[in-house]
Amino acid sequence: MLGRTGERVSVIGMGTWGMGNSAGEKRKGELMALQKGIELGMGFIDTAESYGDGKSETLVGEAIRDVRDDVFLATKVAPDHFNYEDLLKSCEASLERLGVDYIDLYQLHWPSTRVRIQDTMRAMEELVSRGKVRYIGVSNFSVEQTVEAQESMSKSELVSNQVQYSITSREIETELLPFCEKDKITVIAYSPLDRGRIQLNKIPKELLARYEMTPTQVMLDWVTHPRPVIAIPKASRLDHVEENSMSVDVRLSDEDYQALSKLFQ
């Protein structure tokens, strides 16, 4: 469930940072990976106007062209465009690159130190009332910044905060995660595989055998164990996409979740 909206989204989605920058076979492979992921139920796709200067959005647009209704499309606007007018223009440019009429989740990529949050949120609400955006989210916002963004809106609710979270990057557990849980704001975990740096050989073989899971699947299951978290691993390889799509078919028990948490502390 996304925030308090009642909207059902896939617990494991797909990130797209670094995708769409190449041409030829590499690009074709990325396109196929995204399309396979959608087919396998990972319909939540995350991109951003700043990824490859829009090239990631263009790739995503191509991948979803015939399957728009199977996709929950999330993109982000960069802080340089948080002025009211700039933000409206950025959204139009993203819609154009994505080849869609609306964005499901429009996120503020990072907090801005320059633009008043009230002006930014006014533009975000305007996009909702124009039907260009369905839901509003933030990314890399602290608890205070999230509260301020929420209080700057009169008609809409913030549904999500996209932040770094993996078994080896757990800063959000002290404050942000409990806050989001209490306020029913979905946490979108980015870099859930810590960009491939997790020491997967630390996971007990016995546990892998018991769940019939690969180490990566266990890591994605772990990161989405707390209630409000969904994860957006990036995978440009087809076999990785297939592996990730099966991560939450079986859920870790509370006991195993706790044991793994301790092991990586």
Contact footprint for ligand NAP (CB under 6 A): 15-17, 46, 139-140, 162, 190-196, 216, 232-237, 240, 243-244
Q: Find the largest Cα–Cα distance for the chain.
A: 56
| Shortest Cβ 97–ligand NAP spacing (Å) | 15
DSSP assignments along 239-262, one per residue:
HHHHHHHTTTSSPPPHHHHHHHHH
Closest residue to ligand NAP in the complex (CB): 15
CB 47 within 8 A of CB 21: no
Q: Is 165 one of the catalytic residues?
A: no
Nearer Cβ to ligand NAP (100/223): 223
| Shortest Cβ 212–ligand NAP spacing (Å) | 15
Nearer Cβ to ligand NAP (86/194): 194
Nearer Cβ to ligand NAP (154/228): 228
| Shortest Cβ 110–ligand NAP spacing (Å) | 7
CB 247 within 8 A of CB 208: no
| Shortest Cβ 236–ligand NAP spacing (Å) | 4
- Beta-carbon-side half-sphere exposure of residue 4 (alpha carbons within 13 Å): 8
| DSSP letter assigned to residue 2 | B
Separation CA 233–CA 93 (nearest Å): 25
Nearer Cβ to ligand NAP (148/194): 194
For the chain, state the CA radius of gyration.
18
Just list the catalytic residues: 51
